[in-house]
Amino acid sequence: MTIRADFEHVSALQYKLRAFQHRIDELESGEAYTELESKLCAAEKRHLAKTRHLEGELGRSERLNAKMRKRWFEVFETVERECNEKVGRAESQTKRMQERTWRAECALDAARDASSAQAGLMRELEQRLAEAEGMIAKLTAQVNRDFENSSLPSSAQGPARKRVPNTRASSGLRPGAQTGHPHHPRKCPKATRIVDIADPEDYERNPDLYRTGNVLSKLLISAHVAVDVIEYQASEWRRRSNGARLHTPFPQGLRDEVTYDGSVKTLAFLLANECCTSAGKVKCFLREASGGVLDVSTGMINGLAREFSLKSEAEKAQAVQALMSASVMHADFTGANVGGQNKQVLILAGGSRTMMLARESKGHKGIKGTPLENYVGCAVHDHDKTFYSYGLTHQECMQHNIRYLTGSVQNEPDLTWNTGMLDLIREMLHWRKQQPPETVPDPDAIAEFERRYDEHLELATTEYKNNPPTKYCRDGYNLSVRLQSYRESELRFLHDMQVPPDNSLCERLARVFKRKMHQAIVFRSFESLSYICDAIGKINDMRTLGKDVFAETNVVFDRAMPTA
């Protein structure tokens, strides 16, 4: 195999050697060069011809390109000119738009400034409008305040006051005694003189008439002031040794030339303090009624309150003891003008006894030293938080709640809790009036009242959460909070039949003092206020006990003045 491979390789080399030898022979003979030269010339001719053809094509192309370039330049110049015109128009338009945009932005900024100022003005006007509406509501509520929707008494309404409503239904019957009802005549006093009326002569001579034995009578009552002036005389004696003058002592109390007994003082005292008549008018009335005999001085009339107060210390001590032992005590403050300064009068009532105490101020300072300070029963009062520090239990005046609820209904018409609570309180008061004093109230009825009471307060919480109260009208909201916070003191009258549901007793006594205050206008000193309070309180205490006020007052004035 190796020998054969070498043979083939050698044979291949010999063939190549022969081919190269043949090529060398051709090159050495020049035939190849000649052939190559002829081929080269032919190729060169073809190349030159092709070159000339291509140069012609190139020239035509260059001329065509120049022509096309010229046309393109013309087109480009036209396009550029049009583009420049469009760009110029766009730039001018852009400039105008920029100017318009600038002016619009300036106008927008001005509008924004004006809008901001307008918005600020609107907010200010809305705030002022809200304040004005709130102030109108507040002033309207103040103007409409009367005895029905506030603690203002009906006597303080002025000449154009509303008529006090009568809650009783009209029966349609005529006023006065009704047919079939028993007759209730006036009490006939005992006759001081009897006048017999002579029978007509026709009656005596008429045989058809005869006496029945009955006597008909009519009373004619007349009044006159009878003054009994008693003159006490005593012989004067003189001692020879020293010239001293002596006489038999006069009865006790006769120190001045003219002395008025307790009856005259009582009459003047009651006219001045019970009837609230000025001292000058009392003096004039007594002088004219007595035909000029009773000519008392205004100084004596003004000093009667002090004398009565000093001589009635025993009655005041009894009143204090009765108030302290009463199961229920009514308490209230009312204002008084002393020398242009505001002072207070504490009114206490309970156990069929009443007292009026002059105090420098309200609060704990005004209660200190009074029967209420150490009281251990149930205190009935208006919503004055000071009173909650005294007494073991408390009852707030429901009539005040009715007035405040009425004001809430009038001033907050969008709410419903106040109307429901007002109807509920009136229903509870009506139920309470029907309960006998000594019976145990029905616990189921009380539980139902308390359930409805709590429902109305929950409704109030929801309504005030959705409609928050304004600063101008918060009475209704404050009332709802108070009714919830002092629930036990509001509803005590349902559980205890001895506890009254209102503080009307003190309010009636306060009106008695206010009548004197309106007559006096201003007291000159705190001591005079204290004496007037003692006098008015004692007079009402006598009337509450069913005593004869004139006789009891006469007894007080006939006492000797206590020594200091």
| Ranges 118-132, 144-158, 356-370, 466-480: which has the least confidence | 144-158
Q: What does DSSP assign to residue 441?
A: P
- What is the per-residue pLDDT for 162? 52
Residues in a beta bridge with 341? 338
The full DSSP string for 245-299 is EEEPPPPTT--SSS---HHHHHHHHHHHHTS---HHHHHHHHHHHTTTS----HH
Nearest alpha-carbon partner for 562 in 306, 370, 250, 322: 306
Where would I find the H helices in 144-179?
none
Number of helical H runs and strand E runs in the chain: 18, 7
pLDDT at 31 over 90: no
Average pLDDT of the chain?
A: 85
313 neighbors 562 (Cβ within 8 angstroms) = yes
- What is the per-residue pLDDT for 390? 93
Task: Give me the mean pLDDT over the 262-282 stretch.
Answer: 90
- What is the per-residue pLDDT for 369? 92
Q: Which residue has the tokens 């006065």?
A: 176
Look at 155 and 516; give whichever has higher pLDDT. Answer: 516
163 Rama sector, left if φ>0, alpha if ψ -120 to 50, beta otherwise: beta
pLDDT at 17 over 50: yes
pLDDT at 164 over 50: no
Cα gap 43→343, rounded to integer Å:
147
- Using pLDDT thresholds of 50, 70 and 90, give the confidence band for residue 103: confident
- What is the per-residue pLDDT for 85? 86
**Helices 2-29 and 31-143, axial angle in degrees (round to 10):** 100
Nearest alpha-carbon partner for 355 in 184, 225, 98, 541: 541
272 neighbors 284 (Cβ within 8 angstroms) = no
Coil, strand, or helix at residue 424?
helix
- What is the per-residue pLDDT for 220? 86
- What is the per-residue pLDDT for 79? 82
- pLDDT tens digits for range 469-491: 887 778 889 999 999 999 999 99
- pLDDT tens digits for range 318-368: 999 999 999 999 999 999 999 989 999 999 998 888 999 999 999 999 999
pTM above 0.95, yes or no: no
Q: What does DSSP assign to residue 388?
A: G
Coil, strand, or helix at residue 395?
strand
Look at 562 and 554; give whichever has higher pLDDT. Answer: 554
- pLDDT tens digits for range 523-558: 889 999 999 999 999 999 898 888 999 999 999 998
Q: How many CB atoms lie within 10 A of CB 225?
A: 13
281 neighbors 245 (Cβ within 8 angstroms) = no
Task: Give me the mean pLDDT over the 69-78 stretch.
Answer: 83
- What is the per-residue pLDDT for 439? 81
- What is the per-residue pLDDT for 201? 84
- Using pLDDT thresholds of 50, 70 and 90, give the confidence band for residue 71: confident
Look at 23 and 542; give whichever has higher pLDDT. Answer: 542
Look at 137 and 82; give whichever has higher pLDDT. Answer: 82
Look at 239 and 142; give whichever has higher pLDDT. Answer: 239
187: tokens are 């009490």
- What is the per-residue pLDDT for 351? 81
The full DSSP string for 468-493 is PPPTT--HHHHHHHHHHHTHHHHSHH
Q: How many CB atoms lie within 10 A of CB 359?
A: 22
pLDDT at 273 over 70: yes
Helix or strand run (H / E) with residue 148: none
pLDDT at 444 over 50: yes
pLDDT at 254 over 50: yes
**Helices 549-557 and 262-273, axial angle in degrees (round to 10):** 120
Task: Give me the mean pLDDT over the 498-523 stretch.
Answer: 88
Cα gap 472→406, rounded to integer Å:
17
266 Rama sector, left if φ>0, alpha if ψ -120 to 50, beta otherwise: alpha
